[in-house]
């Protein structure tokens, strides 16, 4: 009987494989281990099947198969979520990585991209026309997950979050149906997709509003010794409060990499840095960003006119896959002097040389969107704190996680009351609710009841249907 059951299962699997243009990976296949891996090495899971979807038809086939076989479904776009939600144990992974086509309409300034597209591929196509939209702070992130969670990025203060630039999306629902959402079609769903994550289906394509950007920006990184962190963070705070919307800046506390623009004497030592750009003509940005350069003690200056795509990928090396990661995050109500003193105290105490913590400036176009216009809220928060702890040896996990939590707890007195959902780990329903606030969370629950009442799409920052 057991042998017959295994034969039946093999027949079923082979039948699915024959219906998928993109192919299928199962345990024992040569490509299975690569197929099940996600960016965060702390997440080690073993799905029953990985469906490499080459198009919408493959996604429909995979979802319907999983529902019939009663298999849990995980969805992987870029696979970059720190919670490792792009995989699962014993289920079917809908892998969108083969779907990276991008079509640009330069006249209408609209780009439509498939759900597996990475930021680098999107930028390459749109920059051919001198256009771009907000897409994260590294180029290796999948645009679907980024956008569905809101989408903080280098262009946000000038052009809004990635979700604010979304004009339409196509998704496959839990029933295997293809649905389109925009301001004119299923507008309630469109509201939820702009910040509500992957709770409502597998998003197979996204259309964005584009803006003239580049092809070159004044952009890069300025660095000081960590001992100067108080002065650096105060300058950052005061500068960004008065800066025009063309300026985006992130203050970063980290260990100095062996970068050529840093003196060897500082390599491997803690630094305080400001990554920034001016989204406009570089010659106009020079005097605007000058106050940052004028701060005493500058040890590294990589602020220069460079291609927008080069800046988008400038920090990719710090986010390579294969490392263990643990994050904590919070929107902050401000950076008062006592909060800066807290940051300076931890600037010399990283638990891992691969780690950092940072303060991303919000405001500008982000804050001009109404609190209820999209599912992405906390529009008036001036900063987002993100603690990114990374390490190579799994035996060190407990120590690094404890350090991260301690640092996070030290900043809770300055919380704006919520968290950016894309910086949230696997932290439970209370923290997901905090990412939206009660009113938006309950509105998203109602959408979940309508589009996925069985909570089929639950490997995400999950919004369960109302109980």
pLDDT at res. 467: 84
pLDDT at res. 15: 86
Flag whether pLDDT at 47 surpasses 70: yes
* Domains annotated on the chain, with CATH: 2-95 (3.30.43.10), 102-212 (3.30.465.10), 216-423 (3.40.462.20)
Tens of pLDDT, residues 185-204: 999 999 999 999 999 999 99
User: DSSP for 296-358?
Assistant: TTEEEE--EEEEHHHHHTTTGGGG-SSSEEEEEEEEES---HHHHHHHHHHTT--SSTT-EEE
The arithmetic mean of pLDDT across residues 22-46, rounded, is 94
Model confidence band, residue 402 (pLDDT cutoffs 50, 70, 90): very high
DSSP state of 113: E
pLDDT at res. 2: 40
pLDDT over 90 percentage in the chain: 94
Flag whether pLDDT at 51 surpasses 80: yes
Flag whether pLDDT at 6 surpasses 70: no
Tens of pLDDT, residues 116-162: 999 999 999 999 999 999 999 999 999 999 999 999 999 999 999 99
Structure-block tokens of residue 60: 């429909």
Q: CA–CA separation, 443 vs 203, rounded Å?
A: 20
Flag whether pLDDT at 263 surpasses 80: yes
pLDDT at res. 5: 35
pLDDT at res. 7: 40
The arithmetic mean of pLDDT across residues 23-42, rounded, is 94
Flag whether pLDDT at 1 surpasses 70: no
Mean residue pLDDT of the chain comes to 95
Tens of pLDDT, residues 175-185: 999 999 999 99
By the 8 A CB rule, do 374 and 163 touch?
A: yes
Tens of pLDDT, residues 297-339: 999 999 999 999 999 999 998 899 999 999 999 999 999 999 9
Q: Which residue has the tokens 């780990």?
A: 425
pLDDT at res. 4: 38
Long-range contacts of 423-427 (CB under 8 A, 24+ apart): 423/82, 423/327, 423/329, 423/384, 423/386, 424/82, 424/83, 424/327, 424/329, 424/461, 425/82, 425/83, 425/326, 425/327, 425/328, 426/83, 426/84, 426/85
């Amino acid at each position: 009987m057991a042998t017959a059951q295994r034969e039946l299962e093999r027949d079923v699997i082979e039948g699915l494989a024959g219906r998928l243009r993109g192919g299928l990976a199962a345990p024992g296949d040569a490509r299975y281990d690569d197929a099940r891996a996600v960016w965060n090495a702390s997440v080690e899971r073993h799905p029953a099947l990985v469906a490499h979807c080459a198009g919408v038809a493959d996604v429909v086939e995979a979802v319907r198969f999983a529902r019939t076989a009663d298999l849990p479904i995980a969805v992987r776009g870029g696979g970059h979520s720190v919670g490792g939600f792009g995989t699962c144990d014993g289920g079917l992974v809908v892998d969108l990585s083969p779907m990276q086509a991008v079509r640009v309409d330069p006249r209408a300034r609209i780009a439509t991209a498939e759900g597996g597209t990475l930021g680098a591929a999107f930028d390459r196509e749109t920059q051919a026309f001198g256009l771009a939209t907000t897409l994260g702070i590294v180029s290796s992130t999948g645009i679907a997950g980024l956008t569905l969670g809101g989408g903080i990025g280098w262009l946000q203060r000038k052009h809004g979050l990635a979700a604010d630039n979304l004009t339409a999306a196509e998704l496959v629902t839990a029933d295997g149906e293809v649905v389109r959402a925009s301001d004119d079609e299923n507008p309630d769903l469109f509201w939820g997709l702009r910040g509500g994550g992957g709770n409502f289906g597998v998003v197979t394509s996204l259309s964005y509003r584009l803006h003239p950007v580049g092809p070159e920006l004044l952009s890069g990184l300025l660095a000081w010794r960590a001992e100067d962190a108080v002065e650096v963070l105060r300058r950052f705070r005061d500068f960004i409060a008065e800066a025009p919307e063309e300026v985006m800046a992130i203050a970063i506390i980290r260990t100095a990499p062996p970068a050529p623009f840093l003196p060897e004497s500082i390599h491997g030592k803690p630094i305080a840095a400001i990554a920034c750009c001016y989204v406009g003509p570089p010659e106009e940005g020079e005097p605007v960003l000058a106050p940052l350069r004028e701060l005493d003690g500058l040890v590294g200056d990589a602020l220069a006119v460079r291609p927008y795509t080069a800046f988008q990928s400038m920090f990719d090396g710090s986010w390579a896959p294969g490392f263990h990661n643990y994050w904590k995050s919070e929107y902050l109500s401000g950076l008062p002097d006592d909060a800066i003193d807290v940051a300076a105290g931890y600037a010399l105490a990283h638990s891992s040389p691969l780690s950092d913590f940072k303060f991303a400036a919000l405001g500008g176009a982000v804050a001009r969107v109404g609190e209820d216009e999209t599912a992405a809220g906390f529009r008036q928060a001036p900063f987002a704190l993100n603690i990114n702890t990374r390490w190579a040896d799994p035996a060190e996990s407990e120590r690094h996680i404890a350090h991260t939590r301690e640092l996070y707890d030290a900043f809770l007195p300055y919380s704006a009351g919520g968290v950016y959902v894309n910086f949230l780990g696997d932290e439970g329903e209370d923290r997901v609710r905090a990412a939206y606030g009660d009113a938006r969370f309950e509105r998203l629950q109602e959408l979940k009841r309508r589009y996925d009442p069985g909570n089929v799409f639950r490997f995400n920052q999950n919004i369960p249907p109302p109980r």
